Amino acid sequence: MKSTQRILSANPGKNPLMRSIGFGFTVALSVSYLKYSQVMASKRKSEGKSEDDKVSAKKPAPFWKTGLLSAMHDPDLQVYKDDKVIIIKDKYPKAKFHFLVMPKDNIPNLKSLKKENIELLKHMHEKGKETAEKSDPDLQFRLGYHAVPSMSHLHLHVISQDFDSPCLKNKKHWNSFTTEYFVDSEDIIKELEKNSKVIKDVSHSQELLKKNLRCHVCRKEMTTMPALKTHIKQHSYKKS
């Protein structure tokens, strides 16, 4: 014990043990100070940002969300275009016939619509009807918009009511076209004419996607998508 005390009490500059202890303590102190400095610098930088800076620093939208902008110019998908709109085949159709009518103007979504866009929406509707008629004049179609679309750039769905497609896979797909989540084109036009804007309740719309599976013709409730897809084949989708 006394021997140990003599070693520790010896001149630290000449004592190897004390030099080692002192060096380790200095390194640990330096690392701690460096981490503290980094944390404080980051905090000051964050506090100096405005709310707009913080919003703009968020991750950009995933590439698929803006995929329509490239798809609308794909000649393999295009079925019609004029000076106002481009119509393409949906890349992942949810029925035998499924088209998207899109304006050439930069309009991200329903919320971006203004009263001056009414005539454009009417033009989109008419061209959608013409496309449906050319595809199968005897088949039932619906023209409408998703209340809260997953993809950016305004697009009108023109979809046959057979829902005969391998791309129709889950409850979200089904409910997005067979509940109030799918808003008729003419109803959107009327709302814009009346209110000069289109506003949809996001939380309510998202809940619609979770509703139980039901046949869109007879309203029979089904438990699984395979059972539903088998069931809907018994109905006729020809115009009456």
The span from the CA of 98 to the CA of 6, in Å, is 90
Report CA 219 to chain centroid distance, whole Å. Answer: 28
Query: Hey, what are 104's tokens?
Result: 């050439």
CB 87 within 8 A of CB 78: yes
Query: Hey, what are 216's tokens?
Result: 């869109």
Burial class (CB in 10 A: 0-12, 13-18, 19+), 9: exposed
Selecting among 155, 157, 173, 231, the annotated active-site residue is 155
153 part of the active site: no
Place of tokens 């035998």: 96
Query: Which residue type occupies 71?
Result: A
Q: Where are the alpha helices (DSSP H) in 112-170?
A: 118-135
Q: Which residues form the catalytic set?
A: 155
